[in-house]
Amino acid sequence: MTVADKLVLQRHRHLKWRALDRLELVLMIVCGILCFGFSMSVTADIVTRTIGHPWLWLQEVTSALFIYAIFIGAAAATRRNDHLYLTAISESMHGAPRLIVELLTRLVVLCVSFGLIWYGYINYLRGFGSFRLPSGLPIAYLYIIIPLCGILIALFTIEQIVNGLVNGFDHPEPPAEDGHAIAPIRTSEPGV
């Protein structure tokens, strides 16, 4: 097998996960919009209370934006290995010990995701018995994001396990290119 064949094979291995790359991008954009909306609703709540005409529904909107941003951000961070993941231990290892630690860490995250799915769904169903004020909406609309987050975390963790077993977990970081480096100043001419 030539080097070109290996590169094509490697590229095909990663192509099946392209849909998850797009999903990650969408989650990051949605999380940014939710965080911006949260900031704006808190600001509007402060302003309306300061002028003596509070909008009571803003607290409900603020809490919904905050909860959704947390869980969507947790799912996106899981895909990027920024959350629920202990990198300091595993990055210092190589070979079989690293494989074991990486797999155990991801299995723990997978168990947490199953807990989010199971108990989040139970909370979602129970949420139809409680209502938010002043809107009167069932609190279930806040809880639906919990099992969805668990599903996304499980999906991303399974992807990481499969990619790690196929391609290995040991991926050294490429050296950073410093395109903004300033050349040293010469204080004397050579040969002087």
Residue 101 near residue 170, CB atoms below 8 Å: no
DSSP state of 130: -
Work out the average pLDDT over 80-92. Answer: 67
pTM above the 0.85 mark? no
Q: Which of 4-8, 18-22, 24-28, 188-192 has the lowest mean pLDDT?
A: 4-8
pLDDT in tens, 98-133: 888 889 989 999 999 999 999 999 999 999 999 998
pLDDT exceeds cutoff 60 at 16: no
Work out the average pLDDT over 73-86. Answer: 78
Among 24, 170, 151, 181, residue whose Cα is nearest residue 87: 170
DSSP state of 134: T
CA distance 124 to 152: 17
Which amino acid is present at 11? R
Contacts of 143 (CB under 8 A, 6+ apart): 120, 123, 124, 126, 127
CA distance 22 to 153: 15
- Please report which confidence band the pLDDT of residue 39 belongs to, taking 50, 70 and 90 as the band edges: very high
Work out the average pLDDT over 53-70. Answer: 95
Residue 58 near residue 38, CB atoms below 8 Å: no
The backbone torsions φ and ψ at residue 180, rounded to the nearest 5 degrees and listed phi first, read -110, 20
Mark 153-170 as b/e (b = at least 16 C-beta within 10 Å). Answer: bbbbbebbbebbeeeebe
CA distance 23 to 153: 12
